[in-house]
Amino acid sequence: MGEVIVVTSGKGGVGKTTTTANLGAGLASMGYKVVMVDADIGLRNLDVVLGLENRIVYDIVDVTGGHCRLRQALIKDKRLEGLHLLPAAQTKDKTAVSPEQMRDLCGELKKEFDYVIIDCPAGIEQGFRNAIAGAEKAIVVTTPEVSAVRDADRIIGLLEAAELREPKLIINRIRPKMVRQGDMMSIDDIIDILAVELLGVIPEDEMIVITTNRGEPVVLDQNSRSGQAYRNITRRILGEEVPMMNLEEEGGFFNRIKKIIGLK
Amino acid sequence: MLEFLTRLFSKDGGSKNVAKERLRLVLVHDRTSISPQLLETLKAELIKVISNYMEIDEAALEVSLDSSGNTVALVASIPVKGMKRVAGTA
């Protein structure tokens, strides 16, 4: 029996979909059977982040509405053997699926997959309620900004009210130089305020933009820092103790040289 | 260079402290679902009650919520100008 994990944040644009794609790809690259569910109905995006937009025939609403079998709607990833996507519908709205249907769907999926990762829509309304309905664990994504942390706090409260206890936090797009200069909240500041367990930190990285442009998860890129950060998080989800990445060693002439000649 | 100068002339040591303070305040209100308006009403009523007994500096009166960890405290700073002689207590 697999595990159902929802990736949520409250605020939009903090990296839920990117995180879902990378955790899914990360787990699949380690040999697990993974399905990612795009629960953002009406604003389908996980397919393009993964570069699978051309393969969609059926979507989640077709499944819950009984227009196709679950197996028919699942898209197999082109790179990773065990990775699958259940795309969101683009023409319907968030009320097209009910929490009960979502619970049933997750129940079906976890019979067959080791990990079911749900990409939650932004907001705290119906779409959010649907996305968390079948989940057993929650990952909250935030960025080091007042608005994002505030929304994360709200989401943590709502998750706990929905019996999804002890959500884990991913802090995305941290800029070590700004933290050092005292112009960005640090990891400790945010953990202090939210009082939740830290799952990982993703440094701001241009490679995210580049890999997303190509439709390839950055976790598969062995040379990028954000890819490394996502690989670390993947291993923590699997229960390994992985020390937090040292964010200070970025940039610098010598580091770049070392990287080029393969010392790093 | 500009960055250096801004730093040199800023007193609070970086904008993150501003962010943290604002966040802390807004979260206290979010978590207790006490709106700033409600706090204003509370403040007005406090003034009314305390004014029966003391002369207070209404302009300098401060009422706020403060949180540390999981506990929330109502913190009021009420400068007293002088006592009032209330009928029945003399």
Cβ distance A84 to A113 under 8 Å? yes
Give the model confidence (pLDDT) of B43-67 as tens digits: 899 999 998 899 999 888 888 887 7
In sequence order, the 6+-apart residues with CB closer than 8 A to the CB of B67 are B24, B27, B28, B31, B73
Annotation-wise, does A12 bind a ligand? Answer: yes
Average pLDDT, chain B: 80
Cβ distance A138 to A167 under 8 Å? yes
What is the average per-residue pLDDT within A71-99? Answer: 94
What H or E segment, with its residue span, contains residue A128?
A: helix A126-133
Q: Indicate the residue of B16, B69, B70 with minimum beta-carbon distance to A182.
A: B16
Residue A166 is part of a domain; what is its CATH number? Answer: 3.40.50.300
pLDDT at B69: 63
A164: domain range? 3-261
Percentage of chain A surpassing pLDDT 90? 91
**B16:A189 CB<8 A:** yes
Chain A residue with the nearest C-alpha to that of B12: A182
Number of domains comprising chain A = 1
Confidence band, pLDDT 50/70/90 cuts, at residue B90: very low
Tally: H helices and E strands in chain B = 3, 4
- The domains of chain B, with CATH numbers, are 21-83 (3.30.1070.10)
* Per-residue pLDDT at B12 exceeds 70: no
pLDDT at B5: 59
Helices (H), A162-219: 176-180, 187-194, 206-214
